[in-house]
Amino acid sequence: MTKPLKQIHLAAHFPGVNNTTVWSDPASGSHIDFGSFVHFAKTAERGKFDFMFLAEGLRLREQGGEIYDLDVVGRPDTFTVLAALAAVTDRLGLTGTINSTFNEPYEVARQFASLDHLSDGRAAWNVVTSWDAFTGENFRRGGYLAEDQRYQRAESFLTAAHTLFDSWRGDEVVADKESGVFLGDAAAGSFAYSDDHFDISGRFNVPRSPQGRPVVFQAGDSDHGREFAAASADAIFSRHGTLEDGQAFYADVKGRLAKYGRRHDQLLILPAATFVLGDTDAEAAEIAQEVRLAQVSPQTAIKFLEQLWNRDLSDHDPDGPLPAVDPVVGENTIARGRASVRMYRDPVATAHEWRARAEAEGLTSRELIVEVTGRQNFVGSPQTVAERIDYLVQADASDGFILVPHVTPGGLDPFVDRVVPLLQERGTFRSEYEGTTLRDHLGLAAPARSEDATSAV
Amino acid sequence: MLVTVTESEKSVPGSSDRLHLAVALDGTGWHPASWREPDARPAALLTAGYWTDLVAEAERGLLDFVTVEDGLALQSEHPLRADDRTDRVRGRLDATLIAARVAPRTRHIGLVPTVIATHTEPFHASKAVATLDYVSSGRAGVRIQVTASPEAAGHFGRRTMPDPDLLSEAADYVEVIRRLWDSWEDDAEIRDVATGRFVDRTKLHYVDFEGPWFSVKGPSITPRPPQGQPIVAALGHVDAAYRLIASSADVGFITPHDAAETTTTVEAIAAHRGDQPPVRVFADLVVFLDDTTAAARSRRDRLDEAAGRALRSDAEIFVGTPAELADLLVQWHDAGADGFRLRPASLPHDLLQITDGLVPELRARGLFRTSYAANSLRESLGLSRPANRYSTAATS
């Protein structure tokens, strides 16, 4: 007996404010006009995707003390655009990234509960934290949180929000005109939550929403982040999209579920994935290389070097060899508002590796950056890409993918038109939505409600 | 350094003899027993369809805009805490998200949700209203409200209240959201392939606001919205609030009880405003409308009886026919009110009386539009699109 085929979950990430998005493409449209979001969401819904995904950043990025101007800059407010998209879609899940550092649980809980009501049960929350006082300069909350404090606050925030969601059972609104009873419970919405980060109590003012709670995503990758996800998330937005890497991550995180009394299918692993399609694999590979060059303009290549080197390299020739000097060690002061710089744990060692590789392969600075940063996950004909996605899911490297097109808003269209039908033919992706809520699409049960909204105290 | 606005807002000529109409949406209407009316839909209050239907009806009547009430605590008849009543509407949705959900289903009407300044982040509010302006193609506004409720403070739990300075904090809040709307110049996005630059960063501006309650650096993450500056509205009953309206708002809601008080209040706001372009002043009225005066009175009495007491309101309560209401509005309009924000006692009944009765009545007198001609909420209120305070072009 072979094991039954897994059903693939697909989602669409609206192209972001980073160099993956090729704004110089002639087909590239507005990143702000609502029409772009409508096109993107309707395409995803036409493809029967589980959901669309919006990232968030709360301060414009800077490099060398100036606003970073080489990537797409600017985006709408997450909640507002998702609520508007609920009006032009019927089934598509609506996932918003919302920061737990520069918000308060009462407000975020009422926004997600409202979005869930207004979309008939399609809201999801990707919970993230911020790391720096740089972003804090835009907020009352301000200030800096040490990394362990950030996770603590995120966990506290999520627990507080769950306390608020659960403060209504869902049957309190009776609205019986005859008897004059509107609320069946005079204490509906009562809550109290207190810990090191929050001390709040009172009455939550949004009755229980269709999904009970929004679907919760985590993006954390550290040991602590994985544990947090295993304990409380419905899905993980991961960056482990390759076979071995994906399988290792998948096994690790799913292996942590049992201790929280959760089943294997109660936490979905959904890596981000970019793609380039062609009529043939060879044509796709050619286009993929063109896309990489568009993603790494000469100016962008220099900025990438500066992020690792942590120094001004504006005079460096992108078409020459890598800088001969070593990176400046210590706090990264050159690039601000950017999570990726934290990935370079040992910049000097990384610079040496890059230099060795550039010399061995005869690569210029720009060509090296093209090689070492973000190659596309799926490159090939529709057939090749469909097979690869199915293979990775069946091999437990993931439960599906959050696709990141590189052109706004039409970049998803060829995938929906050409790859989705092949996946449907394979019997591993839905041809019609079966349920109405995002939990239905993801195969997640309604969340267990904690009976006493004051139990966290 | 701040650059001051150099191009003043000008009134659109020929529109001053017409009056403006808005409807204030809250639950099933402003009477506490309204949810028990035969046509009320109390069980649908948390659905998108409920709000879409009401706003579409207001748009059918060619109204200027709707406001949507909001609050950071459960509704209560006690001013400071939850009242534990079970015979009133309790629970609501976030007003900005209601407005956003309705926006793609409407085309012309302005959408003005309430935002509570007291506990929220001006940075978030600024981009939310800017985004509402994008999704509605230039129909967004925001009504700024403060709350002194300890109940609401307990929901946030971390701040000492700026009381009695809530209105000063609100003025700072509006200053920040306005600066953030201007923090991108209209032509900041350049997409210059030759230099690899998506934006001209000299056209993005730090707002560098520092005040006693918050400091905000900027720029916004959201480009300048279609209207440049979406409409800011505030309600006032006392002089301190008139000062806030004069200093910070485009539209002021006031609660006079006769024509003379209308004039006094409009003049008080104008005096505080100085030589800036005028504020559009709307008088608020709770309305019970029926085809006969007797029917309107009997409906009010029925509702009062169901509620267990007579309706109280900060605003004048009007009970009568649409034609009688039109007479009163004409008087107050002549007394200086630019428009009226009507609070329907019950929904949808009084809204339908407005769209089917009051609007044709005003139109017959040449006092109300016969079609939507404006391309934005600002324009429908006779306000031009303001110059950007940071614009280098405006000062050169």
pLDDT tens profile A49-91? 999 999 999 999 998 889 999 999 999 999 999 999 999 999 9
Q: Which phi and psi angles does B104 have, rounded to 5°?
A: -70, -15
Helix (H, G, I), strand (E, B) or coil at B382: coil
Flag whether A231 is in a domain. Answer: yes
Q: Is residue B396 pLDDT above 50, yes or no? A: no
Which candidate from B88, B156, B191 shows the least CB-CB separation from A106?
A: B156
Residue B380: C-alpha distances to residues B42, B75, B280, B383 (Å): 32, 33, 11, 7
Local structure of residue A139 (DSSP, 8 states): S
Kindly state whether residues A206 and A325 are assigned to the same domain. no
Please choose, from the candidates A18, A400, A416, A15, the residue with its C-alpha nearest in 3D space to the C-alpha of residue A241.
A400
Which residues of chain B neighbour A27 with C-beta distances below 8 Å?
Answer: none
* Single-letter amino acid code for the residue at A196: D
Comparison of pLDDT for A341 and B116, the residue scoring more: B116
- Other residues' Cβ atoms within 10 Å of the Cβ of residue B23: 26
- pLDDT at position A339 over 90: no
Same domain? For A397 and A352 the reply is no
* A257: closest CA of chain B, how far (Å): 33
Quick one: closest CA in A to B48, which residue?
Answer: A118
Q: Same domain, yes or no, for A335 and A389?
A: no
Model confidence, pTM = 0.95
Q: What count of CB pairs under 8 Å joins A to B?
A: 237
If 0-12 CB within 10 Å is exposed, 13-18 middle and 19+ buried, where does residue A1 land? exposed
Instruction: Tell me: do A120 and A187 sit in the same domain.
Output: yes
Q: Identify whether residues A106 and A90 lie together within a single domain.
A: yes
Q: What local confidence, expressed as pLDDT, does residue B78 receive?
A: 86
> Mutate which of B76, B107, B199, B302 to disrupt the A interface (most A C-beta within 10 Å)?
B199
**What pLDDT was estimated at residue B10?**
38
Question: Is the pLDDT reported for residue B14 higher than 50?
Answer: no
CA A64 to chain CA centroid, nearest Å: 27
Q: For residue A402, what are the CA distances in angstroms to A95, A240, A269, A272, B369?
A: 11, 11, 10, 5, 49
Supply the mean pLDDT for chain B: 93
Inside any domain, residue A415: yes
Count Cα atoms within 13 angstroms, Cβ side, for B333.
20
Which residues 121-180 of B are in CB contact (within 8 Å) with A?
121, 123-124, 127-128, 130-132, 134-135, 137, 151-152, 154-159
Min Cα separation A3/chain B (Å)? 42
- Answer yes or no: do A77 and B131 touch at CB < 8 A: yes
**Can you tell me the ipTM of this complex?**
0.95
* Contact with chain B for residue A280, Cβ under 8 A: no
CA distance A264 to chain B (A): 34
A184 reaches B (C-beta below 8 A): yes
For A106, A110, A161, B164, B269, the CA distances from A167, given in Å and listed in that order, are 12, 12, 10, 32, 43
List B234's β-bridge partners, or say none: B252
Query: pLDDT class for A344, splitting at 50, 70, 90?
Result: confident
Q: Give me the sign of the Cα torsion angle A223, A227, A230, A233.
A: negative
User: What is the predicted pLDDT for the residue at B392?
Assistant: 76
Contact A67 B204 (CB under 8 A): yes
Over residues B137-177, the pLDDT tens digits come to: 999 999 999 998 889 999 998 666 666 689 999 999 999 99
Q: Is A314 a member of any domain? A: yes
Cβ atoms B27, B89 nearer than 8 A:
yes
Tokens 């790494």, residue?
A296
For residue A336, what are the β-bridge partners?
A62
- Compute the Cα dihedral for A360, A363, A365, A368 and give only its sign: negative
Looking at beta carbons, which residues of chain A come within 8 Å of B191?
A: 23-24
Quick one: A22 and A169 in the same domain? yes
Same domain, A344 and A383: no
Q: How many structural domains compose chain A?
A: 2
Q: Which domain holds residue A301?
A: 297-372
Mutate: best of A130, A205, A206, A407, partner B, most B CBs <10 A: A205
A155 belongs to a structural domain: yes
Asked if B126 contacts B181 with a C-beta cutoff of 8 angstroms, the reply is yes
**Best residue in B34, B97, B118 for a mutation probing chain A (most A CBs within 10 Å):** B97
β-bridge partners, A272: A402
B104/chain A closest Cα distance in angstroms: 6
In a domain, A285, yes or no: no
User: A302 with A265, same domain?
Assistant: no
Average pLDDT, stretch A78-106? 97
Give yes or no for residue B13 having a pLDDT over 70.
no
Which CATH topology does B21-160+223-378 take? TIM Barrel (3.20.20)
Please indicate whether, in this complex, the C-beta atoms of B135 and A80 are within 8 angstroms of each other: yes
Q: Report whether A285 contacts A308 (CB < 8 A).
A: no
CB-CB under 8 Å, A199 with B94: no
Q: Is A276 helix (H, G, I), strand (E, B) or coil?
A: strand
On the 0-12 / 13-18 / 19+ scale of CB atoms within 10 A, A26 is exposed
Which of A87, A106, A111 lies at the smallest CB-CB distance from B104?
A: A87
Note whether A316 and A302 are same-domain residues. Answer: yes
User: Which of residues A450 and B58 earns the better pLDDT score?
Assistant: B58
Q: Does A175 touch chain B (CB under 8 A)?
A: yes
Q: From CA A230, how far away is CA B109, in angstroms rounded?
A: 46
Average confidence score pLDDT of chain A: 93
Q: Does B91 touch chain A (CB under 8 A)?
A: yes
Lowest mean pLDDT among A175-179, B51-55, B153-157: B153-157
Tens of pLDDT, residues A231-254: 999 999 998 889 999 999 999 999
Q: Which of residues 281-320 of B touch A (CB under 8 A)?
A: 306
- Write out chain B residues lying below 8 Å of A79, CB-based: 94, 96-97, 100, 128
- Distance in Å, alpha carbon of A142 to nearest chain B alpha carbon: 9
Q: Which of B196, B291, B249 is nearest to B381 (CA)?
A: B249
| Per-residue model confidence as pLDDT tens digits over B277-325 | 899 999 999 999 999 999 999 999 999 999 999 999 999 999 999 999 9
Q: Can you give B32-84 as a three-state secondary structure string?
A: CCHHHCCCCCHHHCCCHHHHHHHHHHHHHCCCCEEEECCCCCCCCCCCCCCCC
Q: Which of B201, B216, B222 comes nearest A77 by C-beta?
A: B222
Is A76 within 8 Å of B121 when comparing Cβ atoms? no
Q: Which two tokens stand for residue A326?
A: 């070593």
Average pLDDT over residues A300-309: 92
Check residue A373 and give its pLDDT: 86
Residue B362: exposure state from Cβ atoms within 10 A (0-12, 13-18, ≥19): buried
Does some domain include residue A1? no
- Amino acid B5: pLDDT: 34
Cβ contact (<8 Å) for A205 and B200?
A: no
Domain definitions of chain B by residue range: 21-160+223-378
Which chain B residue shows the shortest CA-CA distance from A37?
Answer: B135
| Domain-located, residue A302 | yes
Closest chain A C-alpha to B361 CA, distance in angstroms = 33
How many Cβ atoms are within 10 Å of A6's Cβ, its own excluded?
A: 16
Handedness of CA B262, B263, B267, B268 (dihedral sign): negative
pLDDT at A174: 97
Angle CA(B132)–CA(B134)–CA(B138) in degrees, nearest 5? 90
Q: Tell me the shortest Cα–Cα distance from B388 to chain A, in angstroms.
A: 18
Please give the pLDDT value at position A95: 98
Each residue of B361-378: pLDDT tens digit?
999 999 999 999 999 999
pLDDT at B15 over 50: no
Query: Which alpha helices (DSSP H) does A68-195 contain, by range?
Result: 78-85, 105-118, 133-136, 147-165
Please tell me which residue of chain A has the smallest CA distance to B118: A140
Partner residue facing A80 (CB), from B88, B132, B219: B132
Q: Among partner residues B37, B42, B151, which is closest to A182 by beta-carbon distance? A: B42
List pLDDT tens digits, range B316-332: 999 999 999 999 999 99
Q: Is B86 close to A186, i.e. CB distance below 8 A?
A: yes
Residues of A in contact with B134 (CB under 8 A): 32-34, 76, 81
Residue after which a domain boundary falls, among A348, A372, A396: A372
CB A427 within 8 A of CB A4: no
Highest-scoring range by mean pLDDT, A227-241, A364-378, B99-113? B99-113
Among the partner-chain residues B104, B134, B198, the one whose CB lies closest to the CB of A73 is B198
CB contact under 8 A, B86 and A182: yes
CB contact under 8 A, B42 and A205: no
CATH number for the domain that contains residue A57: 3.20.20.30
Assign A343 a pLDDT band (cuts: 50, 70, 90).
low
Q: What is the DSSP letter of A212?
A: B
The residue from A321, A348, A372 where one domain ends is: A372
Residue A61 φ/ψ, nearest 5 degrees: -70, 150
At residue A147, the pLDDT reads 72
DSSP string, B136-161: TTS-BEEEEE----HHHHHHH-S---
| B120 in contact with A, Cβ within 8 Å | yes
Calculate helix-pair angle for A243-255, A223-232, nearest 10 degrees: 60
Beta bridge partners of A191: A202
What per-residue confidence (pLDDT) applies to A421? 98
Given A316, A349, A372, the domain boundary residue is A372
Minimal Cβ distance to A74: which of B92, B97, B221: B221
For residue A452, pLDDT beyond 90? no
The DSSP 8-state label assigned to residue B321 in this structure reads -
How, if at all, do strands B141-145 and B189-192 pair? unpaired
CA–CA dist A65, A47 (Å, integer): 42
Enumerate residues 348 to 377 of chain B having a beta carbon within 8 A of any beta carbon in chain A: none
Dihedral angle at the C-alpha atoms of A335, A341, A342, A344, nearest 10 degrees? -130
Q: Is A119 on the interface with B (CB under 8 A)?
A: yes
- Which residue type is seen at A149? Q
Q: What is the CA radius of gyration of chain B?
A: 21
What percentage of residues in chain A have a pLDDT greater than 90? 80
Looking at the complex, does the CB of residue B84 fall below 8 Å from at least one CB of chain A? yes
* Cα separation, A285 vs A273, whole angstroms: 16
- Say if residue A111's pLDDT is above 60: yes
CA distance, residue A276 to nearest chain B CA (Å)? 22
Give the C-alpha separation, A81 to B127, whole Å. Answer: 11
A383 three-state secondary structure: helix
Assigned token pair, A228: 């947090």
* Tokens found for residue B345: 């006692």
Interface-testing mutation among A138, A185, A194, with chain B (most B C-beta atoms within 10 A):
A138
> Between chains, do A84 and B100 touch, taking CB under 8 Å as contact?
yes
- Subunit contact A58:B123, Cβ cutoff 8 A: yes
A142 chain-B contacts, CB cut-off 8 A:
215
Q: Is A83 on the interface with B (CB under 8 A)?
A: yes
The answer on A86 and A234 residing in a single domain is yes
Whether residue A401 lies inside any domain: the answer is yes
Contact A102 B155 (CB under 8 A): no
